[in-house]
Chains A and B, each alone.
Chain A
């Protein structure tokens, strides 16, 4: 399965991503190649996940696992197979948080196994313009693995390729900006503030893409 995943991402998704997004990467050398590590990115489109997987160096690809909503990605049998085997998601049962379930357990397990977990702390796809409120699950993970580097990533343009609600992707340039990694400092509020500041700083470097 690992081989199939690598083949699909490298041979099919990568050329498609180049055509549909151009896949410009700034700071590729800052991407962590070994786990446990946490990637944190903004979220505007399903293209975000695929784009990040396709720009990742092939030798570290097996380790990269996007955290994704179980209620959406494990819905149907086909979607579930694709999510588990090709995307290799870490399921987050966001609808069961109220019931007192430890919804971060799969992500913790993945980090403990040495994976690189990709988190979209906004929790859902935004409009592709402003960063919305960040959920604090990412801080809990960083606290559980204080030695793991947390690498902020800004994904610019995917919301134009395939915005929320759209079904047909349209080729538009996307830019992936990778920031410097930082680590858990001991305080949740301070961690979340630093994370937001780092994401906003990357956003300021991204090419402006405004709707008229």
Chain B
């Protein structure tokens, strides 16, 4: 009990208030999901209930890791990257000869995350985009199968940059020096996750409420201009008002984050949809009931995590 109490006592108050706020929103969602069948009967709300139930699990895991510190968050993201990469490589068109390369790709996960563990940002920055980028095609060449060579090498690189490198930025935020951070490093990660997921949910709600004009019908038939713009404006407002509570950003830096993070979230969603459409699936797996696979849930985070990290570095965290 004392140990548990001290985990909470050492946390910045803003983070605890933020987590409490998330639980409040989720409880509200449960209430709405209970009331909807009575207000609008005749529709099937199973998916909505499943979605909310899965949110409890995801939020419990993320909140637990955030409270425990950078080791827990890094390990959680190692697992997330592994499952995301497994989903990606299972659907990607690779060649039977590439099974060894698949193992090598998984091996990149512990190596990439170990640069976070020893806090060597420069190495993290170049490991996957430069060295894995060169080594995997070389290993493929050594195996000696040149049929569909370039397309397969590109698939491996695409999978590693999205599932390992980009998502890793979310974990790397935990290594930011704690001074000058209003809610500690965990507050930075917390706000990234809240802003990204709020953008997803708000775009969905605006689209449901008043969506008329399709925005990219060939890739995402359910996305509309109304959903995109409504989500953009409301998420930007959320970032502008809550940003100073959790991040050291203000003024121009905060404005840039407010404007570009919602666009990045939308871009991640649409880009991963295009990949799934090319492969011929709607969901990347059935891991998370109501949501699909990890890649389906983390698609916008893949684009927002690096952007958020680099805006923070440029405007505030110059120590990195």
- Which residues of A come within 8 Å of B, CB atoms? 22, 24-26, 157, 160, 163, 166, 168, 170-173, 175, 207-212
Contacts and interface: CB of A to CB of B under 8 A. Distances in A.
B316 interface: no
B148 A209 contact: no
B285 interface: yes
B99 A22 contact: no
A26 B99 CA distance: 26
Chain B contact residues: helix, strand, loop or mixed: helix
Given A171-B82, A172-B86, A207-B90, 7 more contacts: A24-B287, A160-B90, A170-B103, A209-B91, A211-B94, A212-B95, A212-B152
Interface in B262-320: 279-281, 285-287
A82 B283 CA distance: 37
Chain A contact residues: helix, strand, loop or mixed: loop
19 contacts: A22-B86, A157-B90, A160-B90, A163-B99, A168-B99, A170-B103, A171-B82, A172-B90, A173-B285, A207-B90, A207-B91, A208-B91, A208-B280, A209-B90, A210-B93, A211-B95, A211-B96, A212-B95, A212-B155
Given A207-B91, A211-B94, A212-B94, A171 B281 contact: no
Given A22-B83, A212-B95, A172 B102 contact: yes
Contact of A171 (B86, B93, B151, B285): B86
B87 interface: yes
Contacts of A163: 96, 99
Interface in B53-92: 82-83, 86-87, 89-91
B225 interface: no
A208 B102 contact: no
B106 interface: yes
A208 B285 CA distance: 11
Nearest to B101: A170
A209 B91 CA distance: 6
A170 B91 contact: no
A166 B103 CA distance: 14
A166 B280 CA distance: 27
Nearest to A24: B286
